[in-house]
Amino acid sequence: MIRIKTPREIDKMRRAAQITAAARIYAGKMIAPGVTTKEIDKATESFIRSQGAIPSCLGYGGFPASVCISVNDEVIHGIPGKRVIRDGDVVSIDLCAGIEGFIGDCAATFIAGKPRSEEDVKLLSITRQAFYEGLKYARPGYRVSDISAAVQQFVEANGFSVIRDYVGHGIGSEMHEEPEVPNFGKPGHGPRLVKGMTICVEPMVAAGGWPVRVLGDDWTVVTRDGSRAAHYENTILITDGEPEILTLPEPEA
């Protein structure tokens, strides 16, 4: 069942989302050659807690960290550890923060140090812009798949692939609520968008093909062909007009 949020619940969502967005910026600024993914995770967890919130990813389904940090061919759900970030690595940050019973969720991808190729730079740019292409349809009267189709068409027109095994979602008092928000599909299908819905639109894009596999840790999702991947996500509110991005301010791209 899709939960329509009350004005009071939306205020709480805004607070959770603001903290989440600030944590995304905090983590993003730490991404640099020589830093370990564990260092980013621990520092970001401390930041979230300093805001009076909890890192909602920690322990979710058994996930052992507060931030999903995925590097190069890792699409999502990378587990932070002793891995040292290298110059030119493509690093995705995905995190959630909860406060007063509600959760914000966002993600972004960064390049550590100097980019290795123009394709990497384009991959990040297209992934981020794909979110905004989908956002154009996040209005009352449109259907979920109108967002999905816009994301897919933009990504594929620019020579990349959208990941199909994982999707966006509703969000509120739970990290994952209905409806699912895929990044692919034909327009005109799925639930109709109405004022008061809060959803996460999150393009996951590969430089090569879209098939993926899960590593032996049962979490980390990588591209099957080893191509690099990027991820960009915001929590948004459906209003009676322009959609509101709750996870702002945005990270520096």
Query: What's the CA gap between 177 and 174, in Å, rounded?
Result: 6
Average pLDDT over residues 91-106: 98
Amino acid at 56: S
Three-state SS at 164: coil
Distance CA(233)–CA(155), nearest Å, equals: 15
Alpha helices in 104-207 (DSSP H): 118-135, 144-157
Dist. CA 180–CA 240, nearest whole Å: 21
The overall pTM is greater than 0.85: yes
Helix 37-50 with 7-30: angle, nearest 10 deg:
140
69-80: pLDDT as tens digits: 999 999 999 999
Q: Where are the domains of the chain?
A: 7-245
pLDDT, tens only, 147-204: 999 999 999 999 999 999 999 999 999 999 999 999 999 999 999 999 999 999 999 9
CATH code for 7-245? 3.90.230.10
pLDDT band of 251, cuts 50, 70, 90: very low
Q: Which helix (H) or strand (E) holds 216?
A: none
Band the pLDDT of 249: cuts 50, 70, 90.
low
Q: 200-212 pLDDT, tens per residue? A: 999 999 999 999 9
Q: What is the pLDDT of residue 29?
A: 97
The strand pairing partners of 111, in sequence order, are: 90
pLDDT in tens, 206-234: 999 999 999 999 999 999 999 999 999 99
Residue 138, pLDDT > 70, answer yes
